[in-house]
Amino acid sequence: MKMKEIRLKETDHLHHELAEQQKHLFTLRTQSVTEKLEDPSQLRKARRAIARLKTVLHQRALEAAKSGSAKTASAK
């Protein structure tokens, strides 16, 4: 999933997708320990997908905090 696609999705959907990716990464790690992982590059892809999702969620949280502080400052 590309950043452009991630940014278009709603925050709730991103939280759900993050949880799914973390479960997937756990499964891949389990497979790597038992030596049944066919494609080791999947670990890297899963970690990067999680990082992308967390980045967008963090950016949205900062924007919400910034707009919330701007509203309180203008109310004073």
Condensed to tens digits (0 to 9), the pLDDT of residues 29-68 reads: 999 999 888 899 999 999 999 999 999 999 999 999 998 8
Task: Tell whether the model's pLDDT for residue 72 goes beyond 80.
Answer: no
What gap in Å lies between CA 4 and CA 13, rounded to an integer? Answer: 15
Structure tokens at 17: 């997708």
The CATH class given to the 3-70 domain equals mainly alpha
